[in-house]
Amino acid sequence: MNEAKFTGKAGIYAKYRPSYPAVVVDRLYNLTKAEAVADIGAGTGKFTEKLLAKPWQVAAVEPNLDMCRELLRTVRGRAEIFTNSAEDTGLPSHSFGLVTVAQAFHWFDEVKFREECKRILTPDGRLAIIFNSRFQGGIMPEREDICRKYCPLFGARGHVGIRSDEEGDRFLRNEYFSTVEVFQMENPVMMSREQFIGDALSRSYAPRKGDENFQPFVKELLELFDKWHRYGKVSVSYTTTCYAGKF
Residue 210 inside a domain? The answer is no
pLDDT of residue 188: 86
Residue 32 inside a domain? The answer is yes
Residue 222 inside a domain? The answer is no
Residue 121 inside a domain? The answer is yes
d(CA 172, CA 106): 12
The three-point CA angle 56-58-61 to 5° equals 160
Give the torsion through C-alpha atoms of 155, 160, 162, 164, to 10 deg: -60
d(CA 212, CA 216): 8
Q: Which domain holds residue 183?
A: 10-134+157-188+237-246
Render pLDDT for 146-167 as a digit per residue (tens, 0 to 9): 999 999 888 766 667 778 888 9
The residue among 5, 10, 47, 7 whose CA lies nearest residue 28 is 47
Percent of the chain with pLDDT over 70: 96
Question: Is residue 196 within 8 Å of 220, Cβ to Cβ?
Answer: no
Residue 90 inside a domain? The answer is yes
Neighbours of 231 (CB within 10 A): 5
Question: Is residue 18 within 8 Å of 189, Cβ to Cβ?
Answer: yes
Q: Is the pLDDT of residue 134 over 90?
A: no
Domain count for the chain: 1
The residue among 48, 42, 53, 36 whose CA lies nearest residue 97 is 36
Query: For 90-96, what is the mean pLDDT?
Result: 98
Residue 1 inside a domain? The answer is no
**What is the pTM assigned to this prediction?**
0.90
d(CA 142, CA 122): 46
Percent of the chain with pLDDT over 90: 78
Render pLDDT for 67-89 as a digit per residue (tens, 0 to 9): 999 999 999 999 999 999 999 99
Question: Is residue 107 within 8 Å of 47, Cβ to Cβ?
Answer: no
d(CA 193, CA 198): 9
CATH number of the domain that residue 163 is part of: 3.40.50.150
Residue 79 inside a domain? The answer is yes
d(CA 211, CA 33): 47
Query: For 11-16, what is the mean pLDDT?
Result: 86
Helix (H, G, I), strand (E, B) or coil at 87: coil
The residue among 17, 4, 11, 10 whose CA lies nearest residue 196 is 17
Render pLDDT for 167-203 as a digit per residue (tens, 0 to 9): 999 999 999 999 999 999 988 899 999 999 999 999 9
Residue 231 inside a domain? The answer is no
The residue among 68, 59, 21, 29 whose CA lies nearest residue 184 is 21
**Sheet-wide strand order for 36-40:** 80-82, 57-61, 36-40, 96-102, 121-134, 234-246, 179-191
Element (H, E) at 17: none
